[in-house]
Structure 1
Amino acid sequence: MIRSVVFDVGETLLKDDREWGAWADWLGVPLNTLSGLVGAVTAAGRNNSEAFQLIRPGFDLAVERQLREDAGVGERIEESDLYPDVRSTLEALQEAGYWLGIAGNQTVVSAKLLRQLGLPVDAIATSGEWDVAKPDPGFFQKVKEIAPGNPHEILYVGDHRDNDVVPARAAGLRSVLIRRGPLGYLWADDPIVRKSADWVIDSLAELPDLLAS
């Protein structure tokens, strides 16, 4: 039985269009150029931030994030960035009695912005706050520490094979891959995903019925 459901952020709860568009503008390249490079490095099993290095060798992500903040074009998360099924699904799961959490590879600033949305969840945390990022096992240890239940009673939902599904299973958690965003579509039918994930879904709205059954 599942007691807790923990959600990834980018392309699980939030559409990443705004943030990638902001980075493309900051780097002075078309969005499709940056998107193509991100897809290429990710499909090759590399961190998507390596795409920045291809455009600007020596790129320092932490430094550039601060420069964006200083220039007034830093991170933003608004209601319109949420996928349409997010709030209704969280409300349905909350009403059904599940403990709900959000935990992803985001900054401390992102955590603050997510909390300002007032989503119906019990906890929000980011890798920036925890000082450990997926797929490091330490990240999923943190998930197990905040979410009630034994590991097999905690479900982690994300769009990434190597950052979400595989390490969640290795940590003893249950997992779901959502088929949206570039990576969700890329890996939905991947043999490793099909072996590791409990479910592959097209919408978060499927979760209440899946868990109830």
Structure 2
Amino acid sequence: MPKSLLNFKYLTFDVVGTLIDFEAGITGCLTEIAAEAGTTVDGEAALALYREARYTDATGLFPDDLVRVYSVIAPKLGLPAGTQYGERLRDSAASWAGFPDSRDAMARLAKRYKLIAMTNARRWAFTHFSRELGDPFYAGFTADDTGVEKPNPAFFQQVFDFVERDGGSKDDILHVAQSQYHDIGVSRRLGMTNCWIQRRHAQKGYGGTIEPAEFTEPDFHFRSMAELADAVDVVAAAPKTVSA
């Protein structure tokens, strides 16, 4: 059985997909471009093409890589060609919205834990994401900071080192994420306690996130950040058992 939710000092977070709705951000921008061109796009089809184009040997850092990705998927979606459209998709990251429950849930959790961001996005994009979420983070690690992307264990090790310098340990961390591939599987292999936020619980497939080779059963499982924050509040409000 996992520890109580109150036994952690740090919550580490995947940001894009867990707190920031990148799928809506990408499909929204593509839909705007399509409308201007007098056509339409199917959101799920666009995400499938995005996922295929994103994870290749040519992959660059996110979201800068969206310029390249657009050039790959545009012809398949019947969208206009041109670097300016790829740059528009990349730049749209600065205005991507958090999930409706993210900001409030993070504010609630920040009262009890030290919140640490772990994102494969570049620092410039994370700055916008953090602002959208109300700047709730005690610390933030990006692909620019670590030099690697999740699920590379080296990303996690840099966070472990930071927590140790802060007076904690890996056992004090609950890792919270929606991506089975980037976060839940590797966190289990590294001996972390994890919490899966199943953002796509009402949808089929993995959307814009790469499908894992195998599913990892998480220690905690919620469908939203609000559910996690509510669960913490319930545990905190429960009567304390006094031993004889």
Secondary structure of the residue that 2:215 maps to in structure 1? helix
Secondary structure of the residue that 2:93 maps to in structure 1? coil
* Pairing partner for 2:47 from 27, 32, 35: 35
| CA RMSD, 1 decimal | 3.6
Deviation of 1:50 after TM superposition, in Å, equals 3.4
Deviation of 1:177 after TM superposition, in Å, equals 0.9
Q: State percent identity of aligned pairs.
A: 22
Matched residue type, 1:138 = A
Deviation of 1:76 after TM superposition, in Å, equals 2.9
Matches within 5 A, 1:140-151: 140-147=156-163, 148=166, 149-151=168-170
* Pairing partner for 2:215 from 189, 192, 203: 192
Rounded Cα–Cα distance in structure 1 between residues aligned with 2:140 and 2:59: 29
Deviation of 1:143 after TM superposition, in Å, equals 2.1
* Pairing partner for 2:19 from 13, 21, 27: 13
Rounded Cα–Cα distance in structure 1 between residues aligned with 2:215 and 2:127: 34
**Pair member with larger Rg:** 2
Higher helix share: 1
Task: Answer whether contact 1:75 1:109 (CA < 8 A) is retained.
Answer: no
Deviation of 1:35 after TM superposition, in Å, equals 1.3
1:155-193 superposed Cα distances (whole Å, 9 cap, x missing partner): 111111121111112222211111113899647xx9832
Matched residue type, 2:152 = D
Rounded Cα–Cα distance in structure 2 between residues aligned with 1:199 and 1:91: 20
- The number of residue pairs the alignment matches comes to 194
Is residue 109 of structure 2 the alignment partner of residue 77 of structure 1? no
Is residue 111 of structure 2 the alignment partner of residue 88 of structure 1? no
Is residue 118 of structure 2 the alignment partner of residue 103 of structure 1? yes
Deviates more, 1:3-12 or 1:114-123: 114-123
Aligned to 1:206: 227
Unaligned runs of 5+ in 2: 1-6, 69-82, 207-212, 236-244
Unaligned runs of 5+ in 1: 42-47
Secondary structure of the residue that 2:94 maps to in structure 1? coil
Matched residue type, 2:119 = G
Rounded Cα–Cα distance in structure 2 between residues aligned with 1:191 and 1:50: 17
Matched residue type, 1:207 = L
1:94-119 superposed Cα distances (whole Å, 9 cap, x missing partner): 22x21111111112321222343342
Task: Answer whether contact 1:178 1:204 (CA < 8 A) is retained.
Answer: yes
Cα 1:104–1:20 change in 2 (3 A) is farther
Matched residue type, 1:18 = G
